[in-house]
Structure 1
């Protein structure tokens, strides 16, 4: 049964499993009661451009899925690959490379649905790949000033030349990607790809829907880059409402609600006077203190709010960039791209497996990156 036809009691049952949404909704309500703020502050914390960009990407990718194009591409890839490790390394590399130029969330919207389609017709473990791709997108986006929101903030704040930024982050991104590639090789089974012919999607591709969706995706990325995400999302809603209403109904609206609650809850928390006072008492001029603060704060409030919180307090913006990018690993909210990857994969027990892998990965990565940066 599709989510748009679920009866009310099934929606309530599904909502009970949305613990992240419920947690941050509760945090938002509690803070609103104990620390009331004017409406303008909530509008600022809501990060409407980010939410609008997320909605636009969800619409475009859902249209591509419904067109059958992803399934066709998945079948072509599986037919040409021989080993699961080979497929895994290809997908992880694609994710990392795309994230350097298309941002981390756009990369996941392209690669994770393709991974799900490949897994549906072969023995590729979908959940393991989704976790690996979440790690890969954090590694790849670290390299580029436009790879993720925290890098963009720091790049604009510090006004460092583009290539200088890339050169500074290259050792960090290199360590991260090597670790992801090694994990991919070790974690995926040493098996050949087994194509399950009975699961191949034999339906014809809807050329019109595929063209609309690809055009919409390109337009949305361009509108986001020019700061017009809200307008871009509104432009997409109209043609999809007219020509593919089913795609709009299939959008993961609970993911949108989760991001809304996270932005409001974490934004308010980071603005609390006690948080600001605690930050004022920390000596961020010490490299290790800054490094640890960036990682720990990312685990608590996600790496983009952590960047906003620490940027004006640190004398070394690029050192902060290293810290908050490393902090994208670990807890799922360390980088909101982690949550996007898991929701796109739609696999049971995804959060548990993610933390079983990502937390040890953070500990190893943080140690190695700090050692490399001290030697540089």
Structure 2
């Protein structure tokens, strides 16, 4: 019952269901348009994430690292770059949901700054997630939709990662280095055998993403492992996200059968730069996951779509699901002004967006 309540309360899913139902009045979805490879890959990823969360892997890493922080800037940097690394492997959503409450618990105890460090943790999660094909669900879609090889994908994501890290370093310079007491390490233990098994399944998951094995195979293996470790793990899988993806595919299947809409979208897809800008702008209003799936049906410019969708995750609070989760976590756990956090977060996000837009434009001009 709790799972069902979580699903029906998901605002993104609610909106997606409504527009999908409306689209059914104009056309009927085609099974061939539903990307089952992406759906199985997302299911595998979400299941593996919950196994790692259940095993407290990220909690242990975070506490071990923070015991060595001597001042506020170093602590903020530790959490920021831990979020980058975690975002690469555990997605940006699970990273912010884990690290932000953890940081705010420490910050409230020692009266540390909250607004800027939390903003940087959220940005770091988006930076890391953009680097890997599995860090963001829409990256899985791009890899599968355009049959992108690992080498090609990382040749796209590496420049984005490098410049994004410089942006984070620039913002970290504004965190005042005030001495803090040592952060005591909590007694959180992990079981090595299930952790190693989960890491192995996570490695096997890559084979599904890159079409070495059918995508449903890693999904089945991940679900079986979760049931063996603890069946309750499956109760925490983000089924709302999975259903949202399914609705996106149905909606897009419908609208691409409407000549007027196809004509309008096609006119905006005439070059790499137009795809890049359209992806960024649409992400600011409908989030980068639905934007990617929608635009991906109408363009052949894979790298422009990749850059636009990941850079579009910066900017507005709805640019990515992780941004919304950052704000939600701060509202629940922060102890200072929520409105001030919103404005600081938004301003820094848009500064990052503008810098990365310049990078993306140059890449499309001189690298492609």
TM-score by length of 2: 0.71
Alignment coverage as a number of residue pairs = 346
Q: Which residue among 193, 216, 240 is the counterpart of 2:180?
A: 193
Q: Give the alignment of 1:137-156 within 5 angstroms.
A: 137-143=125-131, 148-151=136-139, 154=142
**1:296 corresponds to which residue?**
281
**2:121 corresponds to which residue?**
133
3-state SS in 2 of match to 1:192: coil
The answer to whether structure 1 residue 218 and structure 2 residue 204 are counterparts is: no
**1:91 corresponds to which residue?**
79
3-state SS in 1 of match to 2:162: helix
* Two-structure CA RMSD over aligned residues (Å): 4.4
**1:275 to 1:95, Cα distance in 2 relative to 1, 3 A:** farther
The answer to whether structure 1 residue 318 and structure 2 residue 303 are counterparts is: yes
Structure 1, residues 237-258: CA drift from partner, whole Å, max 9, x if none? 422446xx5x666x3x6x532x
Q: Is the 8 A contact 2:287 2:321 kept in 1?
A: yes
3-state SS in 1 of match to 2:28: coil
Q: Is the 8 A contact 1:295 1:327 kept in 2?
A: yes
3-state SS in 2 of match to 1:62: helix
Deviation for aligned residue 1:81 = 0.9
**1:256 corresponds to which residue?**
239
Q: Is the 8 A contact 2:67 2:182 kept in 1?
A: yes
Q: Which residue among 238, 244, 263 is the counterpart of 2:227?
A: 238
Q: Which residue among 24, 31, 43 is the counterpart of 2:16?
A: 24
Q: Is the 8 A contact 1:302 1:333 kept in 2?
A: yes
Structure 1, residues 26-65: CA drift from partner, whole Å, max 9, x if none? 3344444x34635847964895324423441343133223
**1:373 to 1:282, Cα distance in 2 relative to 1, 3 A:** closer
Structure 1, residues 336-372: CA drift from partner, whole Å, max 9, x if none? 4545666777646699565564345324432454357
**1:43 to 1:236, Cα distance in 2 relative to 1, 3 A:** farther
Structure 1, residues 1-43: CA drift from partner, whole Å, max 9, x if none? xx97xxx9xx79x977x544443343344444x3463584796
**1:185 to 1:212, Cα distance in 2 relative to 1, 3 A:** farther
Deviation for aligned residue 1:82 = 0.8
**2:268 corresponds to which residue?**
282
Instruction: Give the Cα–Cα distance (whole angstroms) in 2 for the partners of residues 289 and 43 of structure 1.
Output: 26
The answer to whether structure 1 residue 370 and structure 2 residue 361 are counterparts is: yes
**1:288 to 1:47, Cα distance in 2 relative to 1, 3 A:** closer
Deviation for aligned residue 1:221 = 1.5
Structure 1, residues 197-220: CA drift from partner, whole Å, max 9, x if none? 6xx64xx5455xx33552353144
Q: Give the alignment of 1:156-167 within 5 angstroms.
A: 162-163=150-151, 166-167=154-155
Q: Which residue among 40, 53, 57 is the counterpart of 2:44?
A: 53
5+ residue gaps, structure 1: none
